[in-house]
Every structure is written in structure tokens, then in C-alpha cells.
């Protein structure tokens, strides 16, 4: 049996879970999320726990067992505490500013990049003197948050020689040494 799939999901206080017609709805203080479930996977709610079961031990059933348990767990965690990701911009002249739900990036191109955020995601860009600009993204939807972070990172991925570009805070980059001195 799946190690992830067989773990019960504890529902924290202030979170409500409804299961109807293969659609699970989770509501909490941070927002509301919905997920359509596979008809083969059975989700049951018992008091303050959610349990996910599968009909058989076929390969596809085992994979979806762990997948849907993880998705439901992320939904419950998202509406109760939320998710937060931080991106760091490394490079001379690289800037980030946020005006409401619009993020403006200057990443060394001839033009500025404007990215409009969905209403579920809150964005904040901070620039301090002698420090790299930080972009903080918060949301209750983990999948949407990761997708937006990947989109922002794709505008200028960190390069291996100087490390210039957009990276996650705490991300370790593989650095290359560059050209070596010519032999005399």
C-alpha cells in the first residue's frame, strides 16, 4: 500500500471539507479550493480526518492513491496556513517593483516585463540598499504558486558563471570556474 496514500489527513479547526459527486471543496480562513477526483479513488470524511482509499493494487490506482492524498493535504494546508515562496534577483541593474497585482521586472532586456497576478496570489517586491531585490509570493493554492514562480524564473534563469538571474531564496547553484589563465 502507498505510504503517502494511507496516511490520514487531519482537518484543523476553522476548515470545512465537503465531498459531493467526485468534487472535494475545502474552505478555510485563507480561501476556498476545489478539486475533481478520479472516480476510482474513494475519499471519506470521518470527524476531523479525511481518508483516501483505492479499489485495487493496479499500477495506476496506486499512483493516483498517493497523488490525490497529496493534493487534498495541500488544499487543507493551503486554506489553513497558506504557502509562501521567495525569489531573489541577482545582477547589476536588475529590479523588481509591485504595484497592486502587477509585477514589473527589469532583467537586463531592452524592455520591462509586466506580469499580472491572479487574484488568489498576493505579490510583494522589496528592494533594500546593497541587497538583492526580493519577490515574495503568497497564496492558498500551492500548484498555482509554483507555476507563477516558474514563470517568473523563466524570464532570466540563473547562469552558471556569475549566478546572475532570478533564483529561489536558498537555492544552491552549480557554478563553473570559467576560463583558466593561459599557460606561459
DSSP letters of 80-102?
HT-EEEEEEEESTT-EEEEETTE
For residue 109, is it within any domain? yes
For residue 18, is it within any domain? yes
For residue 88, is it within any domain? yes
Q: Is the pLDDT of residue 183 over 70?
A: no
Length of the chain: 184
What pLDDT was estimated at residue 2?
A: 64
97 with 160, same domain?
yes
Closest CA to 145 of 77, 96, 91: 77
37 with 108, same domain?
no
Q: Tens of pLDDT along 71-106?
A: 999 999 999 999 999 999 999 999 999 999 999 999
Alpha-carbon distance 87 to 147, whole Å?
Answer: 13
100 with 115, same domain?
yes
What pLDDT was estimated at residue 181?
A: 52
- Domain span including residue 16: 9-80
Mean pLDDT of 39-67: 91
Q: Tens of pLDDT along 105-154?
A: 999 999 999 999 999 999 999 999 999 999 999 999 999 999 999 999 99
For residue 153, is it within any domain? yes
Write down which residue in 45, 80, 115 finishes a domain.
80
For residue 179, is it within any domain? no
Q: Tens of pLDDT along 154-169?
A: 999 999 999 899 999 9
118 with 141, same domain?
yes
For residue 152, is it within any domain? yes
What pLDDT was estimated at residue 167?
A: 94
Angle at 128 between CA 157 and CA 158, to 5 degrees: 10
Beta strands in 94-133 (DSSP E): 95-99, 102-106, 113-116, 122-126
For residue 171, how many C-alpha atoms fall within 13 Å in the half-sphere facing its CB? Answer: 21
In the chain, the number of structural domains is: 2
Q: Which CATH number goes with the domain that contains 87? A: 3.90.930.12
20 with 87, same domain?
no
87 with 162, same domain?
yes
For residue 53, is it within any domain? yes
89 with 164, same domain?
yes
87 with 159, same domain?
yes
Alpha-carbon distance 51 to 10, whole Å?
Answer: 9
Instruction: Give me the long-range contacts of 141-147 (CB less than 8 A, separation at least 24).
Output: 141/31, 141/33, 141/78, 141/83, 142/74, 142/77, 142/78, 142/83, 143/74, 144/118, 144/120, 145/83, 145/85, 145/121, 146/85
97 with 161, same domain?
yes
45 with 97, same domain?
no
Q: Are 98 and 117 in contact (CB under 8 A)?
A: no
Amino acid at each position: 500500500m502507498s505510504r503517502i496514500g494511507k496516511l490520514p489527513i487531519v482537518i484543523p479547526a476553522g476548515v470545512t471539507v465537503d465531498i459531493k459527486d467526485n468534487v472535494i471543496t475545502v474552505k478555510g480562513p485563507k480561501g476556498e479550493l476545489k478539486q475533481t477526483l478520479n472516480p476510482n479513488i474513494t475519499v471519506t470524511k470521518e470527524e476531523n480526518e479525511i481518508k483516501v482509499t483505492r479499489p485495487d493494487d493496479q499500477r495506476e490506482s496506486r499512483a493516483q492513491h498517493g497523488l490525490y492524498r497529496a493534493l487534498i493535504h495541500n488544499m487543507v494546508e493551503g486554506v489553513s496556513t497558506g504557502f509562501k515562496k521567495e525569489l531573489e534577483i541577482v545582477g547589476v541593474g536588475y529590479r523588481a517593483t509591485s504595484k497592486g497585482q502587477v509585477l514589473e521586472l527589469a532583467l537586463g532586456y531592452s524592455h520591462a516585463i509586466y506580469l499580472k497576478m491572479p487574484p488568489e496570489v498576493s505579490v510583494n517586491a522589496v528592494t533594500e540598499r546593497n541587497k538583492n531585490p526580493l519577490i515574495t509570493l503568497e497564496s492558498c493554492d500551492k500548484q498555482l504558486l509554483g507555476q507563477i514562480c516558474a514563470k517568473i524564473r523563466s524570464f532570466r534563469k540563473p547562469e552558471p558563471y556569475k549566478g546572475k538571474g532570478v533564483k529561489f531564496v536558498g537555492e544552491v547553484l552549480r557554478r563553473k570556474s570559467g576560463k583558466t589563465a593561459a599557460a606561459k
